[in-house]
Amino acid sequence: MLADCRRILAFTGAGISTESGIPDFRGPDGVWTRVDPEEFTYSRYLENPETRRASWRMRGDSRILDAEPNRAHLALVDLWNADRMVACITQNIDGLHQRAGLPQDAVIELHGNAHHTVCVGCGERQDTVAVLARVSAGEADPACHDCGGILKAAVVFFGEAMPRRDLMRAAMAASEADAVLAVGSTLSVFPAASFPIEVVEAGNPMVIVNRGPTELDDLATVIVTGAAGAVLPDLIGKLLG
């Protein structure tokens, strides 16, 4: 079915990175089984220093910044290098697609990237590791060195607007795609999940690779149930072989 497709849109979610040691949100060991998402909205973050302190503590404990890409991320790089992929839209904030070898301009990070931190006051950007070093040294809620403003990881919080430029890039990629390969996502977070829907509504096939059911299973042409790190190298290897 994908043999003749030249502009496959990869659409990835937290499930592609669980084999790199980063828990997903809604799987059985997901983050939401331990943390209440209502505590971490954008407005709470801005208003409440305790929310910020808790957020930096969690970020310091998270494995995201040290994680390594797995076989599923590497298989998507093979697809890109074979000139068969239009773009990779990801909901992930771990930067593992680029670390695996996808060029930055092939990746559309709809929910941001945890490796970067931004000042909500002056917009200054810096590496999150530098901010976490200040947290470890005792600054529980570090402020911007330049303007004193609130620092926030460059990820989209609940209730925060999504980056306009990335939404436009994603819409463009979806309109150019001739198939969508959705990997490790419940396809339940909007507007992200609207992009695979657009590809299907234009008459193209959707292949879903996931460990469990998704919200868009009814729209899929084929569903492959399994671990992304096992399925993708096999599937993409056959496609390119």
CB-closest chain residue to ligand NAD: 15
Catalytic position from the list 73, 111, 116, 145: 111
CA atoms of 85 and 181, how far apart (whole Å): 10
E strand map for 13-136: 85-90, 107-109, 112-119, 125-127
Closer to ligand NAD by Cβ: residue 7 or 26: 26
Rounded Cα gap, residues 197 and 189, in angstroms: 12
* Residues 204 to 233 in contact with ligand NAD, rule: CB under 6 A: 210-212, 227-229
Q: According to the binding rule CB under 6 A, does residue 178 interact with ligand NAD? A: no
Single residue of 185, 196, 204, 216 touching ligand NAD by CB under 6 A: 185
Question: Per-residue contact track with ligand NAD, 77 to 116, x per CB under 6 A?
Answer: --------------xxxx----------------x-----
Rg (CA), the chain: 18
CA distance 9 to 135: 39
In the complex, the smallest distance separating the C-beta of residue 156 from ligand NAD, rounded to whole angstroms, is 7
| Residue 145 appears among annotated catalytic residues | no
| Sheet of strand 125-127, all strands in order from the earlier edge strand to the far edge | 125-127, 112-119, 151-155
Nearer to ligand NAD among residue 26 and residue 53 (C-beta): 26
Task: State which of residues 162, 189, 197, 223 lies at the interface with ligand NAD (CB under 6 A).
Answer: 189
Strand partners, 143: 150
- Say if residues 108 and 196 touch (Cβ distance below 8 Å): no
Binding mask 147-166 for ligand NAD (x = CB under 6 A): --------------------
Of the residues 9, 15, 131, 206, which one makes contact with ligand NAD according to CB under 6 A = 15
**91: Cβ contacts below 8 Å, ≥ 6 apart:** 12, 13, 14, 110, 111, 185, 189, 192
26 lies in the binding site for ligand NAD (CB under 6 A): yes
Characterise 187 by phi-psi region: left (phi > 0), alpha (psi -120 to 50), beta (else): left
Shortest separation between residue 68's beta carbon and ligand NAD, angstroms: 12
**Closer residue to ligand NAD (CB): 112 or 144:** 112
Cβ atoms of residues 128 and 59 within 8 Å: yes
> Rule CB under 6 A: is residue 14 a binding residue for ligand NAD?
yes
C-beta separation of 149 from 119 below 8 A:
yes
Q: Report the interface residues with ligand NAD, using CB under 6 A.
A: 13-15, 17-19, 22, 24-27, 30-31, 91-94, 111, 184-186, 188-189, 210-212, 227-229
